[in-house]
Amino acid sequence: MEKTELDQTRAPIYEALEKFREMRVVPFDVPGHKHGKGNPELTNFLGEKCVGVDVNSMKPLDNLCHPISVIREAELLAADAFGASHAFLMVGGTTSSVQSMVLSTCKQGDKIILPRNVHRSVINSLVLCGAIPVYVNPDVDRRLGISLGMSRDHVRKAIDENPDAVAVLVNNPTYYGICSDLRAIVKMAHDAGMLCLADEAHGTHFYFGENMPVSAMRAGADMAAVSMHKSGGSLTQSSLLLIGSNVSERHVRQIINLTQTTSGSYLLMSSLDISRRNLALRGKEIFRKVVEMAEYAREEINAIGGYYAYGREMINGDSVFDFDPTKLSVHTRDIGLAGIEVYDILRDEYDIQIEFGDIGNVLAYLSIGDRMQDLERLVSAMAEIRRRYKKAPDGLLSQEYIDPEVVCSPQSAFYSKKKSIPLQDSAGFVCSEFVMCYPPGIPILAPGERITSDIIDYIQYAKAKGCSMTGSEDPNINNINVLV
Amino acid sequence: MNLWFSEYHAPDVRHSLRVTRHLYSSKSDYQQIDIFDTPEFGKVLALDGNVMLTERDEFIYDEMITHIPMSVHPNVQDVLVIGAGDGGVVKELTRYESVKRIDLVEMDGQVIEACRTYLPENACKLDDSRVHIYFDNALRFIRRSSDEYDLIIVDSNDPFGATEGYFTREFYGICYNALREDGIMVNQQGSPFYKHDAEAMQRSHKRIVNTFPISRVYQAHIPTYAAGYWLFGFASKKYHPINDFDEARWKSLHLSTKYYTTKLHIGSFYLPAYLEKMLMEVEE
C-alpha cells in the first residue's frame, strides 16, 4: 500500500519552497509584491524569508485545488500521520473544514444530529446547505455551569426518533476539554446508516499524545475537522480535514473547491507540512510535557483555594466519557467573580492573555510554547486576584445551558423576511440571526430558534459582565432581528 | 593575549572588558553562566552574557540594596532574598545580629555552586547558620507565604530574560502578601538612561506604586552596569525611607562600609529632573 512507505521525516511543500528559493526564479506572476521587493514596509515587518515564499501556485509547487505533486504528497503524509484515509490541507480555518464536512454529507432538507454546544461554523454551514438540525441536549454540570458531552441514551433517542437523519456530529472534545463516548456514537450512527462527523478543532493532540481521549479517526468516525493551528502549532487559519474509508475523496475535493480560495497560501500550507512532521516525529514527547504543565498548574491553582481547576475526576463514563488533560479550565464563581471578570483582570492588570472567560470559568490554553516560569506567573496572578477581589458569590448566575426550541431551519430563518425589535421585547419571537459570546463562539441563539425570557436575561447578564457579544446585526445587541 | 568581553548596554552601545582568563563556562537549565578574570575589575560573573557582578564594584550594589532598608526598619528579623546566588547580599545581611533568618531563593543552583568555587569572597556567608537556601522559582516559593517576612530583597537579573517574572504585578503582589504589616521590599530597578531600560523601569515602578502604599526610587553609581547608573526600588507598607530613617541607631552598630553612608542614604533619594519626570508619569 502506498501509505506504509511514507517517510514522516519529509516535508514536501517545505522542501519544494526551499528549492524554489535557491533557484532565484524571476517572478512575472502574482503576487504583485514580487518576493517582497514591491512592498518594503511589509517586508521589513514580516521578514524577507517569509514574504519570499509567499508565492503563487506553479508547476514545481503544485496547486491546492487539484494537487498532484508536493501538496498531494504532503496530504498523504498527513493522512498517514493521523491514521486517515485521506487528509486535505485547508487554508480557510477550521471553519472551512467544518463547512466542507457538513456540505459533503448534508443537502437541502436533510437532518443532522448534533449537540447544541457546537461552534457557530457548524450552524453557518446549515444556513448554507439548508439542512435541519436535530439537537441533542448536552448534559450540564450544574456547579460549573458548562455543557458536557452527549450521553449515549440521548444520542440513541435522537437516532431512533430521526431514522432519516444522514449524520451525527460530535465535538471531540468541547472547548472545555470534555469528550463524549465517540466509539459508541460512531457505532450507533453506522448501525443506523448514518455518517459520524467530528469537530476536532480542539483535538489535534489526541492523534499524537499518550493517554489521550480517542481521536475521531481511531474511533472509526467518517470525517474530522482538525485545527492544526491550535495544539498542532501551525499558522492561524491553517487546518486539516480528515476522512475515513466510507467517504469519497473526490467528492470531498469538489465540495472544498466550491468555497475554498484558488490562491492557497504557501505560508499556511508549509506551516501545516512542517507542523505535521514535527508532531509525527516528536508529538508524543511534546504533549507529555504539555500534560505535565497542565497537571502542575491544576494542582497549584487548586491549592490557592476558591478556584476549581478541573480534570479527569469529572469523568462519569457517559456525558463526560473522557477529559483532555492538556486543558486548563478553571471555575471561578466561588471567589465571587465571573470568569470573564478574571479574564479581564488578568489582561488589564497582569498582562496575561488567556483563551477565554465565560460566566463561571476561565480557560488558559497551554501548548509546547509555554514555559514553567510563565505558568508560575499565571498561578501567582490568580492567587493575587483572589486575595484582592474575593467576595461572596451572591447574585452570580450559574446556569448556562438553555434548551433551544427550533421553529424552522437555520437557512429559512436566515433568508426570511425579518424586522429589528428591542431585545427586551423579543420574547416569543423567532430569532433570525446568531447571538453568542466570543470566544467560545457557541451560539446562545441560532437562526430559527424561539427567543425566551431566560435567554434575554442571560444575554443581558453576559453583556453586563463584559462578555463580547457577536453574531447579531446590532453590535450592541440592544435590538435583535426576528421573523415577521 | 587580546581577548575582550563585550556586553550591549543599548543596541548601539557596547561596554567591553579585557579578559585574561575564562575560568568557568556552563549552560545550566536556565541560563549560560560564565566567570572570567579581568585586569581592571577582577573576577566577573556573567549570566546570559550580562554582567551580574565584578569583584571591583560589587560592594556598591550589595551595600545599597541592603543597608538602606536595614537602617529604616527598626527590627528586621526575617529576611527573604530572591536571586542573589552569588552571596553578596547575604554577606552584608549577616553582619546584622538582629537578623534571625535569611531565606535565599535561587532558581539556578548551578550559579551558587559556581560562585562558591570561583567567587569564594562573595559566597563566604552562604554557609552561615541563619541562611536557608531554596532552589525554586521565586513566584512559586513566595505565594505560599503570608505575613512572614520583615524584609524582601529582590536581587534579580534584568527584566527581559529568565527573571522577567520578578518585574510583574503578580510578583509584587505576592511579595506584599508575604511581608508583615510593617515590611519593606527592595528591588533592583534597572537603569533610567537607555530607552529600553527606561521603559522597563517605568513599567515596574508603576506596578510597585499600584501595590505598596509607599514607593520611592533611589540611585547608585555602578560602573559595570548600563550607563554606570543604577536604580533601586524601596517599597514599604509603613516606613518612609527618609522620615523613618534612624541614623543614630544605624551608626551605633558600627558597621564599616565602602559606599553607603548615612548622608548618602538621604542623598540617594534625590533624583535628577529627567528621572523625577519619568517616575511621575507613571505615578499618576
Residues B210 and B270 in one domain: yes
Residues B179 and B118 in one domain: yes
- CA separation for the pair B124, B93 (Å, rounded): 12
Q: What grid cell was written down for A305?
A: 483555594
Residue of B nearest to A379 (CA): B140
Residues B11 and B106 in one domain: no
CB contacts < 8 A (A, B): 50
Residues B165 and B270 in one domain: yes
- Give A317's contacts (C-beta < 8 A, 6+ positions apart): none
- CA separation for the pair A210, A282 (Å, rounded): 12
- Give A296's contacts (C-beta < 8 A, 6+ positions apart): A372, A375
In this structure, are residues B77 and B150 in contact, taking their beta carbons and an 8 Å threshold?
A: yes
Closest partner residue to B137 among A304, A376, A387, by Cβ? A376
Residues B81 and B15 in one domain: no
The boundaries of the domain holding residue B17 are 3-54
Residues B103 and B199 in one domain: yes
Residues B123 and B179 in one domain: yes
Last residue of a domain, one of B15, B33, B54: B54
Q: What distances in angstroms separate CA A141 from CA A138, A399, A433, one per listed residue?
A: 10, 9, 27
Contacts of A383 in chain B (CB under 8 A): 143, 170, 174
Burial of A275 (0-12, 13-18, 19+ CB in 10 A): buried
Number of structural domains, chain B?
Answer: 2
* CATH number, domain with residue B150: 3.40.50.150
Residues B180 and B96 in one domain: yes
- Return per-residue pLDDT of chain A as tens, 484 residues: 444 579 999 999 999 999 999 988 889 989 999 999 999 999 999 999 999 999 999 889 999 999 999 999 999 999 999 999 999 999 999 999 999 999 999 999 999 999 988 888 999 999 999 999 999 988 888 888 888 999 999 999 999 999 999 999 999 999 999 999 999 999 999 999 999 999 999 999 999 999 999 999 999 999 999 999 999 999 999 999 999 999 999 999 999 999 999 999 999 999 999 999 999 999 999 999 999 999 999 999 999 999 999 999 999 999 999 999 999 999 998 999 999 999 999 999 999 999 999 888 999 999 888 988 899 999 999 999 999 999 987 766 665 567 788 899 899 999 999 999 999 999 999 999 988 876 666 788 889 999 999 889 888 888 887 787 888 888 888 999 999 8
Residues B48 and B74 in one domain: no
In this structure, are residues A278 and A355 in contact, taking their beta carbons and an 8 Å threshold?
A: no
Residues B137 and B74 in one domain: yes
Interface contact B139-A376, CB threshold 8 A: yes
Spot the catalytic one: B108, B155, B158, B197.
B155
Residue of B nearest to A348 (CA): B169
Residues B183 and B113 in one domain: yes
Tell which of A345, A373, A379, A387 to mutate to test the B interface (max B CBs under 10 Å).
Answer: A373
Active-site residue flag, B155: yes
Interface contact A379-B139, CB threshold 8 A: yes
Domains of chain A with bracketed CATH: 2-8+65-280 (3.40.640.10), 281-389 (3.90.1150.10), 410-483 (3.90.100.10)
Interface contact B168-A384, CB threshold 8 A: no
A289 touching chain B per CB within 8 A: no
**Left if phi > 0, otherwise alpha if psi is -120 to 50, otherwise beta: which for A177?**
left
Residues B22 and B113 in one domain: no
A351 touching chain B per CB within 8 A: yes
- Give A264's contacts (C-beta < 8 A, 6+ positions apart): A57, A63, A64, A65, A89, A91
Interface contact B177-A387, CB threshold 8 A: yes
Residue of B nearest to A300 (CA): B140
Interface contact A300-B177, CB threshold 8 A: no
Last residue of a domain, one of B32, B54, B76: B54
